[in-house]
Amino acid sequence: MTTMASLKTVERLRATVEPEQGRIPMFIYTDPEVYELELERVFGRTWLFVGHESEVPEPGSFLVRDMGEESVIVGRGEDNQVRVFLNSCRHRGMRLACEDFGKVSMWRCPYHGFTYDSAGEFMGTLIAAPYERAAYPEGLDRKALHLIEARTDSHAGLIFATWSQDGPTLDQFLGNLSWYLDLLVGRAEMEVVGAPQKWVLPAGWKLPSENFCADAYHTATAHSFLARLGMVKGVDFGRDGYHVDPGGGHGLGVGVHFDEESYFPADLRDEYRAHLEPEQLGLLDRVKNLHGNVFPNLSFLIPNFIVVDGRRVSGMMLRLWQPIGPDKVQVWSWHLVERNAPEWWKRLGQKMYVQTFGMSGMFDQDDTENWEAQTRNSNTALWRQDEIMLHYAMGISGEPLTEFPGPGDVYDGKFSEAAGRTFYRTWLDLILDQRPEQ
Ligand code: FES
Ligand code: FE
């Protein structure tokens, strides 16, 4: 909804956010009016991650997730299609599903009992109401009371949904990123291990999203304990590799090694070969870590391979930075693994996940301290002014490589903020777009 306050904020952003110059004002991290605009124009319009296919394995399986601040139900129908509905009964707006996940034959509202088809031919349709004849002798218009449905699609097992019925397709939205995303989640049949971990951080959602998108630079300092404890040889794991700006506000950093052999299990090689192009497999063979972000708030990570119980191992994780206020995120963290992986890779990968990047992870604590302090600073009187800018100019005059197997602008070495500048350009373009009210 456009109000005088939001118009003023839009103009303020237009005048002060200059991604191409590497100039970003700090007030945007936590300003309440900026946050309201984000809910409407970013989270209300782009594709958002809502779950992995393996989390809704059969007809009737459902998840409760969020799109921006809206609670949604992600359900699989008998036709095997996954659909996403607003988790809000059409009678008085009660949440239909109050659990995090489950399997049901219908969704029955806990308030007055309106009942909706949860998997069948009429998925999302009101199919019954208690004492229907007595309560509604004139009948109920079931079509008009259908659950509000989001547009849904998936890529390599990742389910996305959007409230925009006429915007870009998911393929268009992901663009060049798909090629890289396949290395993570499309290289084999993947499954989520257990339920996602969830916790709340006092941090604005853009800080962690942008960190995963384009900040390999912090690792040498913020995570230097890894080298000091002798877990890796040095802190160069943050530098060697490539910075990728695929466009669309997405971004990633690919850390590479120079050993002959791939670090991934040899037992899975045939499956990788069946799922990936030879150029993709060639890059996967050199991966020693990989971080990135699907705009706006889904991050992914293959942490730096380390030796656990005598074997070199890593994992694959997804992170959702779910906004729950201008200066607060609920973190959702998933660990994924190849379904057909050898037992040691599954077991040690999970161990590594818990120790490094889960809720109790060593790395998470380093990062969290920074994001919380930045968020606090952003809320101070001095930093709420327009004219004090942050410095986002790393790699601003860098030239992308002309030869690289993958698409997008790819820079040699991970120290660049090119994808971060595109993240803020994409964000700003969405906020500035004042489309007529629908
Ligand atoms: Fe759902 Fe009344 S709010 S049946
Ligand atoms: Fe970090």
Closest among 129, 55, 36, 17 to 336, alpha carbons compared: 55
Residue 5, pLDDT score:
73
Task: Count Cβ neighbours within 10 Å for each residue of 184-213 and write b for 16 or more, e otherwise.
Answer: bbbbbebbbbeebbeeebebbbbbbbbbbb
Domain-ending residue, one of 162, 189, 217: 162
The region of weakest confidence among 250-264, 274-288, 298-312 is 298-312
The CATH number given to whatever domain includes residue 54 is: 2.102.10.10
- The two tokens of residue 327 are 């200066």
Task: Give the end of a domain, one of 111, 131, 162.
Answer: 162
374 and 258 share a domain?
yes
Q: Which of 71, 73, 94, 108 has most ligand 1 atoms within 8 Å of its beta carbon, as the pocket-test mutant?
A: 94
Residue 20 lies in a domain: no
**Domain presence at residue 384:** yes
Same domain, 152 and 187: no
- 334, 389: one domain: yes
Residue 73 lies in a domain: yes
Give yes or no: residues 240 and 320 share one domain: yes
Q: Which atom of ligand 1 is nearest to the CA of 92?
A: 3
Q: Count the Cβ atoms, other than its own, within 10 Å of residue 354.
A: 15
Answer whether residue 211 shows pLDDT above 70. yes
- Would you say residue 438 lies in a domain? no
pLDDT score of 354 = 85
pLDDT at 434 over 70: no
Express each pLDDT in 215-265 by its tens digit. 999 998 998 877 777 766 676 767 889 999 999 999 999 999 999 999 999
| Domain assignment of residue 396, yes or no | yes
Q: How many whole angstroms from 99 Cα to the centroid of ligand 2?
A: 32
**Residues 368, 245 within the same domain:** yes
Q: Over 60: is that where the pLDDT of 435 sits? A: no
Q: What is the whole-number distance in angstroms between the Cα of residue 129 and the centre of ligand 1?
A: 9
Question: 236 alpha carbon to ligand 1 midpoint, in Å?
Answer: 57
pTM: 0.95
- Which pLDDT score, from 0 to 100, does residue 1 have? 62
Do 311 and 202 fall within a single domain?
yes
Cα–Cα distance for residue pair 372/157, rounded to 1 Å: 32
Residue 331 shares a structural domain with residue 380: yes
pLDDT per position as a tens digit, 135-175: 999 999 999 999 999 999 999 999 999 999 999 999 999 99
Nearest Cα to Cα of residue 254 among 222, 226, 282: 282
Ligand 1 center to 105 CA (angstroms) = 18
Domain range for 352 is 175-431
Q: Do 247 and 327 belong together in one domain?
A: yes
Query: Given a cut of 90, is residue 433 above it in pLDDT?
Result: no
The answer to whether residue 13 is domain-embedded is no
Residue 2 included in any domain: no
> Are 182 and 142 members of one domain?
no
pLDDT in tens, 96-118: 999 999 999 999 999 999 999 99
Sheet with 115-117, side-by-side order of all strands: 106-108, 115-117, 126-128
* DSSP of 335-384: EEEETT--HHHHHHHHHHHHHHTSTT-HHHHHHHHHHHHHHHHHTSTTTT
Q: How many domains does the chain have?
A: 2
How large is the average pLDDT for residues 75-86? 97
Phi, psi of 345 (to 5 degrees): -70, -40
- Determine, yes or no, domain membership for 407: yes
Which residues form the pocket of ligand 1, taking CB atoms under 6 Å from any ligand atom? 89, 91-92, 94, 109, 111-114
Q: Assign residue 228 the CATH number of its domain.
A: 3.90.380.10
In angstroms, the CA 426 to CA 432 distance is 10
Q: Given 113, 137, 162, which residue is the final one in a domain?
A: 162
The answer to which of 120-129, 229-238, 416-425 has the lowest mean pLDDT is 229-238
Radius of gyration of the CA atoms of the chain, in A: 23
Q: Are residues 107 and 134 in the same domain?
A: yes
| Residue 52: how many other CB atoms lie within 10 Å | 22
Average pLDDT over residues 258-274: 96
Q: Are residues 191 and 153 in the same domain?
A: no
Residues 188 and 304 in one domain: yes
pLDDT the model gives residue 437: 45
Probe residue for ligand 1, chosen from 87, 90, 95, 111 as the CB with the greatest number of ligand atoms within 8 Å: 111
DSSP assignment of 188-219: S-EEE-SSPEEEEESS-THHHHHHHHH--TTH
